[in-house]
Structure 1
Amino acid sequence: MNHNKFDWGYFLKHIAIIAVPVALQNLLTTTGSMVDTIMLASIGEKAVGAVGLCAQFSSLMFAGYWGFVGGGMLFFSQYWGAKDHDGITRSYGMTLLFMMTVGVLFACLAIFAPEFVMGVYTDKPEIQKIGISYLRIVGFAYPLQVIAMAASALLRSIEQVKIPLYGGIASVVANCFFNYLFIFGKFGLPKMGAAGAAVGTVMAGIVNVLILVACILYKRIPYVLEFSRHFRWSKIYVKQYLEKCFPIICNEVFIGVGNMLVNVVLGRQSEQAIAAVAVFRTLEGLVIAFFSGFSNAASVLVGKEVGAGNHEVAYQRAKRLVYLCSGIIAIACLTLLLIHNPLLHTLGLSGESYQIGTGMLIIYSVAAIIRMGNWAQNDTYRSAGDAAFGSILEITFMYLMVLPFVYLSNFYFHAPFLLVFAFCYIDEPIRYILMQRHLYSSKWIRPVSGPGLATIDAFRQKHGIKVKQKAATSAK
């Protein structure tokens, strides 16, 4: 590749190769969630709201293990660029172990203490009852989701993005099919309502894992099933892995807890508002589906070049990816606003809940362009080895700005619900400015691989970059 002139053809082609399958998979998953919501809407708004709150508990689990996914992808993509196959296998083993620990913990809470979980999220007894019946079953899906997520993260990092897509397609089809059977009690099966949706989620998790394993075996892809090599760790490697993962883990856990506290406020609104929030989260998934494909592309295309020692290429790609992500999100949000009327009605909202849902979508569509720009930059920094900057920034603003504004406006000033909701995004413009300054400083390029470390000093000297850090060594 010519370093003096940016190769747009190569860049856009490889973005499409990585981003499109990931975006399609996430769109399918979100579509499956929408189908769930449509089915549950026929039961009533309370069922929609209860399952929506349970989804927030699942999101907290996701936050708990996503730190290890982010850290793992940092190593996967850089070692892939460096062609260090042993490094990829070891990184995967450690990533899966830590993720599964989190998944099993949340599964135990859902299965054995659902009353406690629902009591945290809402004070509405009828909604709690529905949520408890859902959690007791869906907890069995959590370890399956962890296995699928870990494998998918590795496969995307080594540019095998079609296999997770195949698993996602099969999973969504299975979820819709089994939901139909068990929610409504078809073909002589019991009519389980919201609990039937949980059965569908478990069955979808089983199908997803089976498809992933079958494709990996068929294509003879290494790393994922090489169990004997997953745990060949040295003390130096474990230390380096945890040092890189720790800021991401803190980010995801603290932000996950912060979002839970925000959801506690949203879960103590009127039943109409709770239903609107549940539907909004489903539609929000459509926007995130578009974004996540490009975010994965950023992680792989930037991290791969950092790992190979091509730091100038990584820097030029990062700048373009951030703005491209924001542009894609703007298109997605505009499309969502244009079709929001039939969507909200189809998903069971009417009257006051429809008005609230519409207001939430308008607010989010403005905020999401900046929000996803911040997200894209943070993912780019992580893949390049700088896991701390974006994490510290996000945690600081969540606890010093977002949570105080949300809680004070709701409980002290009794502000209208939509204003409280808007305060959830009050920090995004300020963080965007700070993240942009960091992007153009190039200080976020911090390789962990041998080839990356061999060329980083020359890159920093060329650009006059001064970074305070310990002498780095490649973990073997």
Structure 2
Amino acid sequence: MSLTSLFNDKKFLKTLFKLALPIALQNLILSSLNLVDTIIIGGLGEYAIAGVGIANQYFFLLNLVLFGVVSGSSIFTAQYYGDNDIPNIKRVLGISILTSGTAAFVFFIVGFFFNNQIISIFSTDKVVISIGSEYLRIIVFSYVITAITFSYSFTLRSIGQVKIPMLISVIALAINTILNYLLVYGYFGMPKLGTNGSAIATLIARTIEMILMITVVYSQKLIIAAKVREMLDLSIDFVKNFFKITAPVILNESMWSLGVSMYAIVYARMGTEVIASTNISATIERITWVIFMGLGNACAVMIGNKIGEGNEDEAYLLAKRFIVLCPILAILAGLIVFFTSGWTLSVYKVSPTVYNYSHNILMVFSIFLIAKVINYVSVIGIFRSGGDTKFCLALDTGGVWLIGVPLAFLGGLVFKLPIHFVYVLVYLEEVVKLMFCIPRILSKKWINNLTAKD
């Protein structure tokens, strides 16, 4: 696969930009507004950043469970759309809402009644625990709402309707940021609620986002505007086949998110300044990551559609094209982070120690970005779209639990290494995973047509 043939294929590039750009833009706005939110909360001090960051770590767990459900659903949706099977797309949407909604409700119950205990897992600082637990007690009310929005949004993406979720997210996130500003500091006659104001702002924005999503889908009579009976028209065989493919994805995301939470526990035990620095750097990393989220989602839709059409050779060609494109974009993004992180961090009102920690973390991130990107697009965009979910489960779970977590605990808590050295140890997971990804792509074993009739 030469660079010339890659960039001369106008049809490939047109489809890629059509799908990837709105998703990337949506995530860019999300990450940018999260950056603004972090800066707003940062004005309350490092304890506020740490407390809210830890509370959001709990949502991070739920977020990845939800992502496991909706991305597993997207495997079927993309292939059914390629096969022009609309009734089954509606059935998949129904299972997605039921499964993700149930998971969100469980997280709501645990988070509401055991918020103090949850925050205490990550930090022993009483001030951080107090701030985090109060924030969590409010934000959990947004969880089920978020699950419903996720299901509709990802289903739309899987059928190529990427602009609608983008526009709705932009509106909701803009509302969130404005309300954050008003409710945290009490401007324009609003109550001054501190970090709790941020939680309330997020809850309101998430509610508006769900209402807008459902209103647009049904008022415009989009193909996923399913009636309840259409979503619940589920046979036992259909449900079994669905969970045969998606269960490994849900387990994959759950186990991976638990592993990442282990990293957070290590960082939290290294001190409040380390917690603050990892939260700050993570926000900047998410901004960098938006292009690759768009790339991975576009890859999944394009390959899934081709497999559903029965065109497996074209699906394999697309996979090779994405793997050529990934390193190019990763190198460019890594260079940007490497040379601009100092300027970006200057907007935060934090101590020199937190600034230096954050800067060093971003240097490590920029160096290992190429491996992380190739692995991400391989798993999210290629393997899962082909139904190769068991391999993804083994790869991700093995990487985080056999390599990343043990090295993080050894580096951070046993050998007491500086935070950036701990990050280097954690990112060795990506290097090892890369050694398995490329051979798997070339083997074609990941290609499975889930729409094929027996």
Normalising TM by the smaller chain, what interval? Answer: over 0.9
1:396 and 2:398 correspond: yes
* SS class of match (1:385): coil
- The equivalent of 1:227 in structure 2 is 228
1:266 and 2:267 correspond: yes
* SS class of match (1:346): coil
- The equivalent of 1:78 in structure 2 is 79
* SS class of match (1:388): helix
- The equivalent of 2:132 in structure 1 is 131
Single out whichever of 409-418 and 163-172 deviates more from structure 2: 409-418
Give the TM-score normalised by structure 2: 0.96
* SS class of match (2:384): helix
Q: Tell me if the contact between 1:43 and 1:193 (Cα under 8 Å) persists in the aligned partners.
A: yes
d(CA) in 2 for partners of 1:207 and 1:337?
37
- The equivalent of 1:170 in structure 2 is 171
d(CA) in 2 for partners of 1:358 and 1:301?
37
Q: State the AA in 1 paired with 2:244.
A: E
- The equivalent of 2:257 in structure 1 is 256
* SS class of match (1:427): helix
| Residues 38-49 of structure 1: pairs in structure 2 closer than 5 A | 38-49=39-50
Q: State the AA in 1 paired with 2:20.
A: A
Q: State the AA in 2 paired with 1:287.
A: T
1:381 and 2:383 correspond: yes
Structure 2, unaligned stretches of length 5 or more? none
Q: Give deviations 1:207-245, integer Å, cap 9, x for gaps.
A: 211221232234210224422200111111111101101
Determine what percentage of the aligned residue pairs are the same residue: 28
Single out whichever of 296-305 and 59-68 deviates more from structure 2: 59-68
Single out whichever of 207-216 and 168-177 deviates more from structure 2: 207-216
| Residues 43-442 of structure 1: pairs in structure 2 closer than 5 A | 43-379=44-380, 380-442=382-444
d(CA) in 1 for partners of 2:54 and 2:283?
12
Deviation at residue 172 of structure 1 after TM alignment = 1.3
Deviation at residue 411 of structure 1 after TM alignment = 2.3
- The equivalent of 1:8 in structure 2 is 9
d(CA) in 2 for partners of 1:448 and 1:376?
20
* SS class of match (1:159): coil
Deviation at residue 326 of structure 1 after TM alignment = 3.3
Q: Tell me if the contact between 1:290 and 1:329 (Cα under 8 Å) persists in the aligned partners.
A: no
Q: Tell me if the contact between 2:217 and 2:224 (Cα under 8 Å) persists in the aligned partners.
A: no
Single out whichever of 153-162 and 206-215 deviates more from structure 2: 206-215
d(CA) in 2 for partners of 1:224 and 1:368?
39
Deviation at residue 412 of structure 1 after TM alignment = 2.1
Q: Give deviations 1:86-135, integer Å, cap 9, x for gaps.
A: 11011110011111111111122222221011011111111111111111
- The equivalent of 1:460 in structure 2 is none
d(CA) in 1 for partners of 2:418 and 2:337?
24
What is the RMSD computed on CA atoms of the aligned residues?
1.5
Q: Tell me if the contact between 1:166 and 1:211 (Cα under 8 Å) persists in the aligned partners.
A: no
Q: State the AA in 2 paired with 1:431.
A: K
Deviation at residue 189 of structure 1 after TM alignment = 2.4
Q: State the AA in 2 paired with 1:127.
A: V
Q: Tell me if the contact between 1:311 and 1:445 (Cα under 8 Å) persists in the aligned partners.
A: yes
d(CA) in 1 for partners of 2:81 and 2:339?
41
Q: Tell me if the contact between 2:249 and 2:389 (Cα under 8 Å) persists in the aligned partners.
A: yes
d(CA) in 2 for partners of 1:291 and 1:298?
10
d(CA) in 1 for partners of 2:402 and 2:125?
29
d(CA) in 2 for partners of 1:215 and 1:233?
25
Q: State the AA in 2 paired with 1:186.
A: Y
Deviation at residue 176 of structure 1 after TM alignment = 1.0
d(CA) in 2 for partners of 1:226 and 1:347?
48
Q: Tell me if the contact between 1:170 and 1:211 (Cα under 8 Å) persists in the aligned partners.
A: no
Q: Tell me if the contact between 2:399 and 2:429 (Cα under 8 Å) persists in the aligned partners.
A: yes
Q: State the AA in 2 paired with 1:140.
A: F
Q: Tell me if the contact between 1:144 and 1:209 (Cα under 8 Å) persists in the aligned partners.
A: yes
Q: Give deviations 1:370-428, integer Å, cap 9, x for gaps.
A: 11210110121111111111220121122222111111222222222221122111121
d(CA) in 2 for partners of 1:134 and 1:323?
43
Q: State the AA in 1 paired with 2:436.
A: L
d(CA) in 2 for partners of 1:445 and 1:24?
29
Q: Tell me if the contact between 1:82 and 1:308 (Cα under 8 Å) persists in the aligned partners.
A: yes
Deviation at residue 305 of structure 1 after TM alignment = 0.3
Deviation at residue 152 of structure 1 after TM alignment = 0.8
Q: Tell me if the contact between 1:61 and 1:103 (Cα under 8 Å) persists in the aligned partners.
A: yes
Deviation at residue 58 of structure 1 after TM alignment = 1.0
* SS class of match (1:400): helix
Deviation at residue 356 of structure 1 after TM alignment = 0.5
Single out whichever of 205-214 and 10-19 deviates more from structure 2: 205-214
Single out whichever of 225-234 and 160-169 deviates more from structure 2: 225-234
d(CA) in 2 for partners of 1:83 and 1:117?
45
d(CA) in 2 for partners of 1:244 and 1:265?
33
Single out whichever of 435-444 and 390-399 deviates more from structure 2: 390-399
Aligned length: 448
Q: Tell me if the contact between 1:171 and 1:204 (Cα under 8 Å) persists in the aligned partners.
A: yes
Q: Give deviations 1:43-72, integer Å, cap 9, x for gaps.
A: 111111111112211111112222211210
1:447 and 2:449 correspond: yes
d(CA) in 2 for partners of 1:18 and 1:359?
34
Deviation at residue 331 of structure 1 after TM alignment = 2.2
Q: Tell me if the contact between 1:35 and 1:176 (Cα under 8 Å) persists in the aligned partners.
A: yes
